[in-house]
A and B are shown apart, each in its own frame.
Chain A
Amino acid sequence: MTRSLFLGGILSALVLLAALLSFIWTPYDHTALNIPAKLQAPNAEHWLGTDHFGRDILSMIMVGARTSIAVALVAVGIGMGLGVPLGLAAAAKRGSWLDEGIMRANDLVFAFPSLVIAILITAILGAGAINAIIAIGIFNIPVFARVTRGAALSLWQREFILAARVAGKGSARISAEHILPNVANLLIVQGTIQFSLGILAEAGLSYVGLGAQPPVPSWGRMLADAQTMVSLAPHMALVPGCAIILTVLGLNLMGDGLRDWLDPKLQGGRA
Chain B
Amino acid sequence: MPPIQLEIGNFSAFARDRWRPLWTRARRPPNLPLMGRYFAKRLLSLIVSLVVASWVIFFVIEIAPGDPASFMLGINAQPDTIAALRSELGLDEGKVTRYINWFTGMLQGDFGTSYTYRTPVAQMVADRLWVSLPLAIYALTLSTLIALPAGIYAAARRGKSGDIAVMGATQLGVAVPNFWFAMMLVLVFAINLRWFSAGGFVGWEAGPLAALHSLTLPAIALALPQAAILARVMRSALLDILGEDFIRTARAKGLSQRQALWRHGLRNALIPVLTIIGLQFSFLLAGAIIIEQVFYLPGLGRLVFQAISARDLIVVESVVMLLVFAVIMVNFLVDLTYALVDPRLRGRG
Residues of A within 8 A of B (CB): 104, 107-108, 110-113, 115-116, 119-120, 122-124, 196, 200, 203-204, 207-208, 223, 226-227, 230-231, 234, 237, 240-241, 244-246, 248-249, 252-253, 270-271
Q: Give Cα A124–Cα B170 distance, bound, in whole angstroms.
A: 37
Known: A113-B323, A116-B324. 18 other contacts (CB 8 A): A113-B282, A113-B327, A115-B289, A119-B289, A120-B60, A124-B60, A124-B64, A207-B290, A208-B305, A223-B179, A226-B183, A241-B183, A241-B184, A244-B177, A245-B172, A252-B174, A270-B236, A270-B239
Beyond A111-B324, A119-B320, A245-B172, whether A230 also contacts B183 by CB under 8 A is yes
Query: Which chain B residues lie closer than 8 Å to A271 at the CB level?
Result: 167, 170, 232, 235-236
Smallest CB separation, A41 vs chain B (Å) = 15
* Closest CB pairs A-B (n = 4): A113-B286, A248-B175, A241-B180, A249-B175
Query: Do A123 and B308 touch (CB < 8 A)?
Result: yes
Centre residue among A116, A207, A234, A240 by max chain B CB count within 10 A: A116
Smallest CB separation, A117 vs chain B (Å) = 9
Encode contact with A along B153-180: 1 for CB under 8 Å, 0 otherwise.
0000000000000010011101111011
Q: Give Cα A230–Cα B286 distance, bound, in whole angstroms.
A: 26
Query: Do A116 and B323 touch (CB < 8 A)?
Result: yes
Query: Do B191 and A230 touch (CB < 8 A)?
Result: yes
Stretch at the interface among B7-15, B51-59, B140-148, B260-268: B51-59
Report the nearest A residue to B178, measured CB to CB: A204
Report the nearest A residue to B293, measured CB to CB: A208
B287 at the A interface (CB under 8 A): yes
B220 at the A interface (CB under 8 A): no
**Interchain residue pairs with CB less than 8 A apart (19):** A112-B53, A112-B320, A113-B282, A113-B327, A116-B286, A122-B308, A196-B175, A204-B177, A204-B290, A208-B293, A208-B305, A226-B183, A231-B187, A234-B187, A241-B177, A241-B180, A246-B175, A248-B174, A253-B171
Beyond A115-B286, A245-B172, A271-B235, whether A207 also contacts B179 by CB under 8 A is yes
Dominant SS at the B interface?
helix
Query: Do B183 and A227 touch (CB < 8 A)?
Result: yes
Query: Which chain A residues lie closer than 8 Å to B61 at the CB level?
Result: 120, 123-124
Query: Do A119 and B316 touch (CB < 8 A)?
Result: yes
Report the nearest A residue to B309, measured CB to CB: A209
- Count of chain A to chain B residue pairs whose CB atoms are closer than 8 Å in the complex: 119
Query: Do A249 and B290 touch (CB < 8 A)?
Result: no
Q: Give Cα A245–Cα B179 distance, bound, in whole angstroms.
A: 12
Centre residue among B57, B171, B240, B316 by max chain A CB count within 10 A: B171
Smallest CB separation, B289 vs chain A (Å) = 6
Smallest CB separation, B300 vs chain A (Å) = 11
B224 at the A interface (CB under 8 A): no
Query: Do B187 and A230 touch (CB < 8 A)?
Result: yes
Beyond A107-B49, A123-B313, A270-B239, whether A252 also contacts B177 by CB under 8 A is no
Q: Give Cα A244–Cα B179 distance, bound, in whole angstroms.
A: 12
Query: Do A113 and B283 touch (CB < 8 A)?
Result: yes
Q: Which of B170, B179, B184 contacts A204 (CB 8 A)?
A: B179
Query: Which chain A residues lie closer than 8 Å to B227 at the CB level?
Result: none
Query: Which chain B residues lie closer than 8 Å to A120 at the CB level?
Result: 57, 60-61, 316, 320
B63 at the A interface (CB under 8 A): yes
Query: Which chain B residues lie closer than 8 Å to A226 at the CB level?
Result: 183
Centre residue among B170, B172, B179, B304 by max chain A CB count within 10 A: B179
B114 at the A interface (CB under 8 A): no
Q: Give Cα A87–Cα B294 distance, bound, in whole angstroms.
A: 38
Smallest CB separation, A80 vs chain B (Å) = 22
Encode contact with A along B289-305: 1 for CB under 8 Å, 0 otherwise.
11001100000000011
Smallest CB separation, A253 vs chain B (Å) = 7
Query: Which chain A residues lie closer than 8 Å to B171 at the CB level?
Result: 249, 252-253
Query: Which chain A residues lie closer than 8 Å to B313 at the CB level?
Result: 123
